[in-house]
Structure 1
Amino acid sequence: MIRVLATGTFDILHPGHISFLEQAKALGDELYVIIGRDANISNKPKPIIPENQRLLMIQSLKPVDYAVLGSLTDYFEPLEIIQPDIIVLGFNQQQNEEKLKKDLNDRGFFPKIVRLSEADTGTSEDMYSSRKIIAEILKKRCLKD
């Protein structure tokens, strides 16, 4: 049984997220997803959708077998239970693969790390990005010329 792990914020769920999760699921038998906690998100704006609601959305998706909120104190804590064989990174996720691999190995985890390309996820379309969706909403609904 190959366990695949994907992580993300998943704020404003969109087709790019679905494609990412479908591609991740295709790499193994079970797909586990860790949802970033509101308090821990520091590399981009805080989510609009609260973490518990984001968790419910991800749990409801067909490719996802298990979804959990991340730890508030230790990024690697959920991995102790999940024990992933593969960790999938989206093309635009900020993790440095070499640093992630070293940090995982230092903690006793030795999964394969797979970074999907933009082409793999089919996310070259305009509405496959939360930022692009927000910009389009502002343009069409809020900003008047």
Structure 2
Amino acid sequence: MTRATAEDTSRVVAQGTFDLIHPGHVHYLEDAAEMGEELHVIVARRENVTHKQPPLLPDRQRRDVVAALDVVDEARVGHPSDIFAPIEEIEPSVIALGYDQHHDADAIEDALAERGVDCEVRRASSREKNYEGELLSTGNIIDRILDERC
């Protein structure tokens, strides 16, 4: 794909923990990439993950794995204290939320508007399991490992 200049490029931001990359993550990022021309991914810092168990893998390792995916143009670790700071730097046209992420799209839009960021918030589509036993959740993968290996 030919990339437009920075001024002409519609950027999409996707964000998440991305601990133990699985097909659900890949689907989310592919769906997000289709919402614009350039996909930027913000990988949550371990200390900022409070809505579930913190990730097992270090921040940089998770970022490196996400960055290695062909669909991703840039990946970075999130800001230590201000989740909107990277958004202001990237200046996206769209923020793509995962279909099952806990985020409130309306609250995000309000916070962006308060900061003067003109950006649409969309939710990615869900990915159906393609076969029996396919795991689309890091928590389920960890549970399976514990059940079968411990």
Provide TM-score, normalisation by structure 2. Answer: 0.88
Unaligned runs of 5+ in 2: 1-8
CA distance in 2, matches of 1:107, 1:18: 30
Higher relative helix content: 1
Per the alignment, residue 100 of structure 2 pairs with: 92
**Amino acid of the residue matched to residue 99 of structure 1?**
A
Match of 2:145 among 133, 137, 140: 137
CA distance in 2, matches of 1:43, 1:70: 16
Per the alignment, residue 6 of structure 2 pairs with: none
3-state SS, counterpart of residue 110 of structure 1: coil
Per the alignment, residue 75 of structure 1 pairs with: 83
CA RMSD of aligned residues (A): 1.1
- The answer on 1:103 being equivalent to 2:111 is yes
Aligned length: 139
CA distance in 2, matches of 1:6, 1:87: 6
Per the alignment, residue 36 of structure 1 pairs with: 44
**Amino acid of the residue matched to residue 43 of structure 1?**
H
| CA apart distance, 1:27 | 1.1
| Residue deviations 1:41-96 (CA, integer Å, cap 9, x gap) | 11111110000110111111100001111100111111121001000000111111
3-state SS, counterpart of residue 114 of structure 1: strand
**Amino acid of the residue matched to residue 17 of structure 1?**
H
CA distance in 2, matches of 1:96, 1:81: 22
* Aligned sequence identity (%): 38
CA distance in 1, matches of 2:123, 2:97: 5
| CA apart distance, 1:117 | 3.0
CA distance in 1, matches of 2:86, 2:102: 19
Per the alignment, residue 3 of structure 2 pairs with: none
**Amino acid of the residue matched to residue 69 of structure 1?**
V
Cα distance, 1:7–1:54 mapped onto 2, change above 3 Å: same
